[in-house]
Structure 1
Amino acid sequence: MTKEELIQTIELLERLRNLKHLWVEEPISDPLMVMSLFLMKRHLMGYLTTPTSLAQAAEVPYTTATRRVAQMRNQGLIDLRPRTKSGRSFSVHPSPKLIAKMTSLLMATQSAVAISGTAKVGSRRSRRPAGRDFIGAPPIASNSLGFGNGLEILVVEDPAYSFGKPLRRELNYLMGGQARFHEASIDSLRQKILDNSELPQSRYDVVAVDLPMIAEFAQRGVLAPLDDVAGDSQLNSSDFVSSAWRGTVFAGNQYGIPILINPQLLFYRKDLFADLNIPPPHTTAQLLEAARVLHRPSIGQYGVSWTAARGGPVGQAFIQFLADFGQPVFQLDRSVGGFQTSRLSNKALKPLINTDRGHLAARFMIDLLAVSAPDVLSMGWDGQVDLLREGKVAIAYEWASREAQLNGFAAARELDYLPHPRGAIEGDRQPRSSVAPIGGFAFGIPSNIAPNRLRTAWNAIEWISSPEVIKLLVQHGGHVTPRLSVGSDPDVQQLSPMITAVDQMARRGQIRLWPRPPVSSFSSVVSILGEEIHDMLSGKQSISTTLQRSQERADQLS
């Protein structure tokens, strides 16, 4: 159930209770139920509740109500949080135990109403009974920020990862303090974190780190290792998408916790494919064939779009296409179904660009140009959303998170999702499955954080990465989750069919880290490719010259 459905079901129960005067002259009160409904509703709405206001809501004499409040506390149904530095004033919050009990009650109520067929609760008729896959509302942080304290968090400025005002307000209420979110664009985030590392003391308590940058920041001492501060943390690493979790480990140490993952997928218009009886593309050859048929510029329909703007977009595009042809951009050891990324260390790794597979990836990019949307060579991270919204493109290589920006558009309802098609190579001895290169962000702690802030920063990361809070983030527009349990939550799956598709890819092991490996020189190699590959696509130099120049420049980095 969504938060709105929970609130509306509470209001239904409150209305039913208010009808009691119609059948009994001296109504019998149930103060525990009344106070539980009152407290749960205010918690979901983000309103503070005091012991006095909770007692006043009980519909019994005040002294009786205060005894019931004490009873709720003794039963572990409520948590108290100090409201002042003196600690003499408290706010009251439902404990995880009460949240679980109330959620079960509200879901059972919604199911009963739906089964009766006489009414709806919330905006949708309930479709299912309560089950273990449902993740409830987030409880308050057990280690609150404390009265008058704040938390400085650097996040990426991206519509898919928007920490907007409603979400910030809710997070502040739950964390019991003032969290301030500072935004940086995708392209400026790395430099902002590096600049911050040069300060005597970090201006941020927590920073969002693009997964491939973990290695660079760990090697340069920009991030603090989390192993010691995490201590006896209850985080269940097996609940995280394995490639995302591995991406936060470098040289045997943990440097971050995945918060939002973002695999790059193939979006395709299943209706256009079906109309022409074209099968979904699972190889690059099939993709080019389909794109040529569906590329009809005369009616404003284009075969394919992808991010080929100069710099990071086209540099990363080459790296990901290279992976489609079965090769990472660095010399990694092979493993089952791919390449090893779990034992990377400070040792420099050789870039692999001017190779046979590099030539195949470059040729594929040139072939794509002939069936691509106009201005593809200036197509940045945000460029494809309008094309997809307007139904002007049949196929798009796009980050999964962007799907959340397509809600409500008719063309978006016809989209389906696949991992990247495989690059076919004659005589390839290694069987390969399609992969979806993983992107996304982890929360880490700057190494120059004030020592007295370290524990607070870790407590915040641990709480934000809980299933309940991750579900909250996804429901505010992320549409991608690093936790398998959240991907299985029926409420989350109803947000978009893409969520189920990504969840299935994760469970099949198709979301992989090795196409964008955590190697310290990754960002520098992307910058080189972003210049050289763009010059190639612009017709300024040949494939051979491009790959040779890229290889020579990348070799000089070590």
Structure 2
Amino acid sequence: MSDSASSNPDKITKPRNPLYRKRSTAPMNAFARHDQTGPVSPEAKSEALGALSLLEELSDELEDTLDVYVPNAHLRMAMHLIKGHFEAKTITPTSLIGASRVPYATATRRMKEMVEAGLIEQRPRTKSGKSFSMHPSDKLLDQWIRLSSRVRRMAEARFGGRHRGQESKDYYFGGSYSAAQSILPMRVRSEPLKVSGGLRVLVHGDPTFMVMENLKRQFEQVIGVQISQRAFSIDRLREEALRNADRAASRYDIIAVDLPWIGEFATKDVLMPLDQVMDVARLDTADFHTAGWTAAHWGGRAYGVPAQTTPELLFYRRDLFAEAGLEPPATTDALLQAARALHDPRHGCYGIAWNAARGTALGHTALMTMADFGQPVLDLPANAGGFDTDGLADRTYRATIDTPAGLLAAEYLLELLQYSPPDILSMSWYERVRPYAAGNIAMAYGYTLLAPYFELDESSPAYGQTGYLPHPAGAGGNPIAPVGGYVMGIPANLAPDRIPAAVE
């Protein structure tokens, strides 16, 4: 699981087939954090430095323009640490205090606070231990990477995106549905919703919810109140939802919930069942994919309304398969053979990309791969359609990872590593699709909602050349298309006077 197979794609002098046309000019090997096994991808590093530059310039403008503005010592020192870390420069306590732009005594206190909060690591520079170098801790690095992503999204939402063509907007904003007249336009309410301070929504920072942010003013006009939307990465979203449940009163009127969390959030009273506050029959369930609507239930009660239901498929380059004389893979063995044939790391080209980043991303992959081999991760009873999940809330169950099918799934993923890019262990949902869109990858597992990254980009080598397949099946399994997505739910601790507006 090392990066020993990585090579320098900058040495390419002449492309050999369409897979190489959009080859990145930057090496794809991971940029490692200090003292960590987890890598920071080049994209994450670039994003972190971009956010740093933006915040530095903004801080400079505020301090130069407003005479009463006091520099934020914590932010200034954090930026100095992050920049020094990525540029491999030694940061001393003296230079850190100088970067704070506040008086020496104040800066010393702020630095001590950051050390005590676990944001700064002090490392001895001499054997006596009297001289230290200062480094951002793993905690600070992780928080900064998350902040960088949010800063970029906010900047793009406020100032970017105007270059998108009408075709792109039509795709995201439902133009194809409007043309077919299958969905009526939203009707403006005769009376605005009555909720003080506007509607507060917690969402996931993916394309679907970012479209909601772009259309926020349109929604506000329809419901008659302002909407404030806060977006987080998937793991941060779950953490915030759980923290919110511990508060005396919810900060959000509506929260987005990943389908696998429904059971946990129902049993922990994070969400309130819809039938507690509304007539569920008011919903036209035909509007929703059956899998999405079924997954919104726990113990026979609905805990949310599907806002996004997306299957995961195998994307593959039809032109490259034809050129190599390969058939689209229907089995895991055929997929491995195709990945082996198309894998050419010496030219910066790789067989397949998939979710291998530590944590939730790899967890999703493990669950789906076990399903490819015909084994659910829990001891679910079999039924005619596969396995029964309706009774999960009514019984105990055990994990079934330690089964023959589980072993086959693990061995399959280990073999996939041989034909994956060198930074595969930092790839998650977006990271696996971006290099595919750029032409560096021959195949990728991916959710359909990410297909616009190449289907709407005429400069992408994958544009118009992508085939779509259900997951190839392993021994004992059948080809499947695992479904993921989100529902919108109402927090269980929402103040009673805000519930009617949240329901509407």
Q: TM-score, normalised by structure 2?
A: 0.62
- Specify the alignment match of 2:233 in structure 1: 185
- Judging changes above 3 Å, is the alpha-carbon distance between structure 1 residues 131 and 377 closer, same or farther for their aligned structure 2 residues? closer
- Residue segments in structure 1 that go unaligned for 5+ positions in a row: 1-121, 426-431, 460-558
Are the aligned partners of 1:160 and 1:402 in contact in 2 as well (CA < 8 Å)? no
- Specify the alignment match of 1:402 in structure 2: 450
Match of 2:461 among 411, 416, 424: 411
Are the aligned partners of 1:304 and 1:396 in contact in 2 as well (CA < 8 Å)? yes
- Judging changes above 3 Å, is the alpha-carbon distance between structure 1 residues 226 and 123 closer, same or farther for their aligned structure 2 residues? closer
Determine whether 1:447 maps to 2:492.
Answer: yes
Determine whether 1:435 maps to 2:467.
Answer: no
Match of 1:252 among 279, 287, 300: 300
Are the aligned partners of 2:274 and 2:280 in contact in 1 as well (CA < 8 Å)? no
- Judging changes above 3 Å, is the alpha-carbon distance between structure 1 residues 436 and 181 closer, same or farther for their aligned structure 2 residues? same
Determine whether 1:382 maps to 2:433.
Answer: no
Match of 1:269 among 312, 317, 332: 317
| CA distance in 1 between partners of 2:431 and 2:189 (Å) | 38
- Residue segments in structure 2 that go unaligned for 5+ positions in a row: 1-165, 169-175
Deviation digits for residues 124-148 of structure 1 (CA, Å, limit 9, x no counterpart)? 9xxx9x9875324322246632486
- Judging changes above 3 Å, is the alpha-carbon distance between structure 1 residues 457 and 139 closer, same or farther for their aligned structure 2 residues? same
Determine whether 1:420 maps to 2:471.
Answer: yes
Q: TM-score, normalised by structure 1?
A: 0.56
Are the aligned partners of 2:213 and 2:229 in contact in 1 as well (CA < 8 Å)? no
| CA distance in 2 between partners of 1:294 and 1:338 (Å) | 34
Question: Could you tell me the percent identity over the aligned residues?
Answer: 40
Match of 1:139 among 184, 187, 191: 187
Describe the SS at the equivalent of 2:272.
coil
Larger Rg: 1
**Offset of 1:207 from its aligned partner?**
0.4
Determine whether 1:362 maps to 2:425.
Answer: no
Match of 1:315 among 355, 358, 363: 363
Are the aligned partners of 1:159 and 1:405 in contact in 2 as well (CA < 8 Å)? no
The residue type paired with residue 375 of structure 2 is: Q
1:186-265 matched pairs, under 5 angstroms: 186-231=234-279, 233-265=281-313
Deviation digits for residues 107-127 of structure 1 (CA, Å, limit 9, x no counterpart)? xxxxxxxxxxxxxxx989xxx
Deviation digits for residues 59-80 of structure 1 (CA, Å, limit 9, x no counterpart)? xxxxxxxxxxxxxxxxxxxxxx
Describe the SS at the equivalent of 1:281.
coil
- Judging changes above 3 Å, is the alpha-carbon distance between structure 1 residues 181 and 367 closer, same or farther for their aligned structure 2 residues? same
Are the aligned partners of 1:307 and 1:380 in contact in 2 as well (CA < 8 Å)? yes
Deviation digits for residues 413-432 of structure 1 (CA, Å, limit 9, x no counterpart)? 2112111111124xxxxxx5
**Offset of 1:373 from its aligned partner?**
1.6
| CA distance in 2 between partners of 1:268 and 1:168 (Å) | 35
- Judging changes above 3 Å, is the alpha-carbon distance between structure 1 residues 215 and 343 closer, same or farther for their aligned structure 2 residues? same
The RMSD of aligned alpha carbons is 2.5
Are the aligned partners of 1:219 and 1:346 in contact in 2 as well (CA < 8 Å)? no
1:151-166 matched pairs, under 5 angstroms: 151-163=199-211, 165-166=213-214
Describe the SS at the equivalent of 1:442.
strand
The residue type paired with residue 181 of structure 1 is: Q
**Offset of 1:361 from its aligned partner?**
0.3
- Judging changes above 3 Å, is the alpha-carbon distance between structure 1 residues 321 and 344 closer, same or farther for their aligned structure 2 residues? same
| CA distance in 2 between partners of 1:316 and 1:232 (Å) | 30
**Offset of 1:312 from its aligned partner?**
1.5
**Offset of 1:290 from its aligned partner?**
0.9
Deviation digits for residues 38-65 of structure 1 (CA, Å, limit 9, x no counterpart)? xxxxxxxxxxxxxxxxxxxxxxxxxxxx
Are the aligned partners of 1:306 and 1:384 in contact in 2 as well (CA < 8 Å)? yes
Describe the SS at the equivalent of 2:430.
coil
